[in-house]
Structure 1
Amino acid sequence: MSKKFPIMPANPGRVCWGCDRYCPSDALRCGNGSVATPHPSELFGEDWMSWGLDAAPAADAAQLPGPPPTLTE
């Protein structure tokens, strides 16, 4: 069973998030490369949980443009 993934860790830069071991960033035991895997909040910002595949539908979704026009010759 995997560990519960922390949504907002206090110091995300101190841990490698590449597997369920959550090693210190300077002691990678899993062999997940030579650089620690960053937490999603480090990559995408504090609101990383509010967008993506599981995000709630936007209120202005009806105002989004339709599919792009097709090119015909």
Structure 2
Amino acid sequence: MAKKFPIVPAHPERICWGCDKYCPIDALACGNGSDRTQHPAELFGEDWLEPILPFPDAQQEDGPGAGTAQDAGKDKQ
């Protein structure tokens, strides 16, 4: 089982986030290169988990995926 991924770690710059080992930057054990992989919070900010384009509920219903099999049963009644 993989380790639980921290959403906003205290010091993300001290760890490589490239695999489940979460090695310190001076001891990269996975050998995936000489550079550490940055945490998403370092790249996108602390709200990196928030949706990029939040849509109101009305737009989601009219968007792609509208008229699915669940909706088809409603029309027959």
Give runs of ≥4 in structure 1 deviating > 6 Å: none
Aligned-residue CA RMSD (Å)? 2.1
Distance verdict in 2 for CA 1:4–1:47, change over 3 Å: same
Larger-gyration structure (1/2): 2
TM, length-normalised to structure 1: 0.71
Deviation for aligned residue 1:51: 2.0
Residues 25-70 of structure 1 deviation map (CA, whole Å, 9 limit, x = unaligned): 1110000110000000001111100025xx8x423984xxxxxxxx
TM, length-normalised to structure 2: 0.67
- The runs of 5 or more residues in structure 1 that have no matched partner are 63-73
Percent of matched pairs sharing the same residue: 66
Q: Does 1:43 align with 2:39?
A: no
Partner residue of 1:12?
A: 12
Q: How many residues align?
A: 59
Distance verdict in 2 for CA 1:58–1:3, change over 3 Å: same
Q: Distance in 1 between matches of 2:58 and 2:35?
A: 39
